[in-house]
Structure 1
Amino acid sequence: MQDSKARAHFRFLESDPYSILIAFSGLRQALVTTGYNERVNECQAAAEKLLQATGRGEQPALLGNVTRDDYVAHQNLLRGALARRARHYFSESERVELGATAWREGDLRKFGQLMTESGRSSIENYECGSPPLIDLYAILVETEGVLGARFSGAGFRGCCVAFVEEEEGEEVAAKVGREYGGRYPRLCKDAPVFLCNSDDGARIL
């Protein structure tokens, strides 16, 4: 795991064996045709309100420029979609911090739990995804052997990624493929499920 701000990286300590599962929804669509740009604008609008409330309205309207304490103090100023977008941003930031700790400690189950919470917040607070992608996420979360799952990328189309118990990987992949295919037979023709493993990263061989 890499911390780009601190320019540091953390190694994953020993844990139970696991595999990484990538499940494609079969949906391909450019982000400009989704609600992605709208979400960006809503996050900027939320940041602008919060920064103005703290007397720092001259700063760029980015939620990253709002401290957690300032968000807690002034979140009551946000309504509707703006409140949900900010809630997702700050809860996701907290999950990243907790996830980094879980990763350093080799606590894969905690890391997986945080992944699943991230996916749920993406649906409920950031309101991204599409019916097939949300169903794919739900299938993963409800499948035994899956430690955690979430959307991959911007979360409107494309894939879900999950951590699975290594010994259950093949069975999980087959079950997810069957269930998703049963719900979306047209999409499943172009919706493979991949199992892979992590490595130590880029290096000279």
Structure 2
Amino acid sequence: MTRGEAGIDTMAPAEAARVREAEQRASAAAVGVESVEFLDHRDGVIEEGVALRRDLAAAIRRHRPDLVVTLNHHDTWGRNWWNTPDHRAVGRATLDAAGDAGNRWIFTDLAEAGLEPWSGVRWVAVAGSPEPTHAVEVGEEDVERAVASLAEHRAYITALSDKDPVAYAREVVTGAMDEIAGRTDGRRAVAFQLYPRG
């Protein structure tokens, strides 16, 4: 949704946007993603509403997925860990946009621009939800790819922590997976709150 320009306190927004865009592309490449699209909303001040839903509906119409993965839209990550306004807004708007993408009477300008309605989204999976409904078991190779992907956010991680980026990434990734393992008979997994559509 953004280029992360407000995410590093010690770096001016224009430079942070350049660095974080490069880190996001490298992170995606580490897990085999070849195309990353930035929708250029302002980092830290994303507003939930029609403009956000329209941009997300356009992306869904462009890519025509049957599964959409989004951010945690709940107020917290669970317990007392408050979620960020951007995450909440994007998560909620994505849930709405999955329906908007298939409605030919909403955002008619998108169809006029060649983005025909797409009602093929069957599931929206919310990552990081404090209320997971499904888990996908992962193997050691998956864990290593996830660690490598997150570690690509070196400048961001360095601004957050004194830890080595790979050590930090391993702690975050394995911590989240191990927490879910308590619900999956000890097997590491990635959890989602899954919303069926249609």
Q: TM-score scaled by structure 1? A: 0.25
Select the structure with the greater relative contact order (CA < 8 A; seq sep ≥ 6): 1
